[in-house]
Amino acid sequence: MALFTYETKKDTRSGFGAGMEYLSVNNPKVVALCADLIGSLKLEAFIKNSPERFFQTGIAEANMIGLAAGLSIGGYVPFATTFANFGTGRVYDQIRQSVAYSGKNVKIACSHAGLTLGEDGATHQILEDIGLMKMLPGMVVINPCDYNQTKAATIAAAEYDGPVYLRFGRPVVPVFTPENQKFEIGKALHLIEGSDVSIFATGHLVWEAIIAAEILLEKGIHAEVINIHTIKPLDTQAIHASVAKTGCVVSAEEHQINGGLGDSIAQYLALNLPTPQEFVGVNDSFGESGKPADLMEKYGLNAQAIVDKAIKAIARKKA
């Protein structure tokens, strides 16, 4: 039984492009920078509408972060864009000193995060970016789940005053959240009510969590599914309320288990409501080349993996 339906599949990076297109018309303070990946970041419409507000940096990401910090000092709202690997890990110190420590209103907006980048392989498949970014004091970390939500998150990031890491990806995934939704940073979204297990998912894993809940329902298990699109600040109130009801947790993310969403949830629960928790994520390894779906299967990041972990979490609750 389908708990959610969708009409089309789109890539989340195109949602970012749509958000930037909206901002090109509606927010004259927004500027965009890109390190030789305009097509991959879907910036064509932004550049067409406001070419004077676009800065091509060439393949020079460190300089791009500094430029963005400078543009923010001058009163603009810069979106520094590239692949997630090059926009976070490669330029960590630039983000740390010139953006986070300096408190700059810079948006680091990155596509091709995680395994679903596919055939390019592990050099490009960063699985550590959420951890790197959430460790920086004051940094907001957002990982929306579909096209519509990514568009809304992009617009919300521009309105928010402070550094933001916005993470999205390359593959097409079901578009199931409402068009023109209002995106509230730090506000978890209840997708499915349930009483047996809380599934907290982020990014591409949110749709997988919905499928998992359908499979679990056929087994008579009522899973609660919550979309944690903002990893930092974490909506601990929503997490607490759900876990108080269900008594066990599965976290799901296209990221290392170390340092990811599940790790943030576990830290909160350890202090406030110790609860059995299972983690769906990459277990301390690099990715590899392959088709996105095959990679997600091999590394245990799909609906079936969530189902298995949910059953395990429920069993630990009863033990």
Partner 1 sequence: MQTIELQKVASQVRRDILRQVHGCQSGHPGGSLGCTDLLVELYFNSMNLKSDASGQVEFHMDGLNEDVFFLSNGHISPLLYSVLARRGYFPVAELATFRKLNTRLQGHPTPHEHLEGIRIASGSLGQGLSVAIGVAQAKKLNGEKSTVYCLMGDGEQNEGQVWEAAMYAPHHNVNNLIAFIDENGQQIDGPTEKVMNNLDLEAKYKAFGWQVLRVDGNDMASITAVIQQAKSLFVNNKPVMVIMKTEMGAGVDFMMHSHKWHGVAPNDEQLALALGQLEETLGDY
Kindly list the catalytic residues.
61
- Exposed / middle / buried, residue 277 (Cβ in 10 Å: 0-12, 13-18, 19+): buried
String marking each residue 19-48 x if it binds partner 1 according to CB under 8 A: ------------x-----------------
Residues 6+ apart with CB under 8 A from 149: 12, 15, 177, 181, 183, 229
CB closer to partner 1, 33 vs 296:
33
Cα 283–chain centre separation: 18
Residues 6+ apart with CB under 8 A from 100: 136, 137, 138, 139, 163
Return d(Cα 125, Cα 114) in angstroms, integer. 5
User: Is the bond leading into 174 cis (omega within 30 degrees of zero)?
Assistant: no
Number of residues located near partner 1, criterion CB under 8 A? 32
Give Cα separations from 245 to 12, 185, 248, 271 (angstroms). Answer: 32, 24, 9, 17
User: In this structure, which amino acid lies at residue 124?
Assistant: H
Query: Which of 27, 40, 63, 289 touches partner 1 by CB under 8 A?
Result: 63
Least spacing, CB of residue 221 vs partner 1, in Å: 49
Give Cα separations from 274 to 165, 267, 270, 271 (angstroms). Answer: 29, 9, 5, 7
- Report if residue 66 touches partner 1, rule: CB under 8 A: yes
Least spacing, CB of residue 135 vs partner 1, in Å: 16
CB closer to partner 1, 102 vs 283:
102
Least spacing, CB of residue 83 vs partner 1, in Å: 17
CB closer to partner 1, 132 vs 280:
132
CB closer to partner 1, 6 vs 55:
55
CB closer to partner 1, 67 vs 305:
67
Give Cα separations from 241 to 77, 236, 246, 247, 276 (angstroms). Answer: 36, 8, 9, 10, 15
Least spacing, CB of residue 29 vs partner 1, in Å: 10
For residue 230, the tally of other CB atoms under 10 A from its CB is: 25
Return d(Cα 17, Cα 171) in angstroms, integer. 14
String marking each residue 188-217 x if it binds partner 1 according to CB under 8 A: ------------------------------
Nearest of 119, 92, 152, 127 to residue 205 by alpha carbon: 127
Least spacing, CB of residue 71 vs partner 1, in Å: 4
String marking each residue 79-118 x if it binds partner 1 according to CB under 8 A: --------------xx-xxx--xxxx--------------
Least spacing, CB of residue 67 vs partner 1, in Å: 4
- Report if residue 60 touches partner 1, rule: CB under 8 A: yes
Residues at the contact surface with partner 1, assessed by CB under 8 A: 31, 52-53, 55, 57-58, 60, 62-76, 78, 93-94, 96-98, 101-104
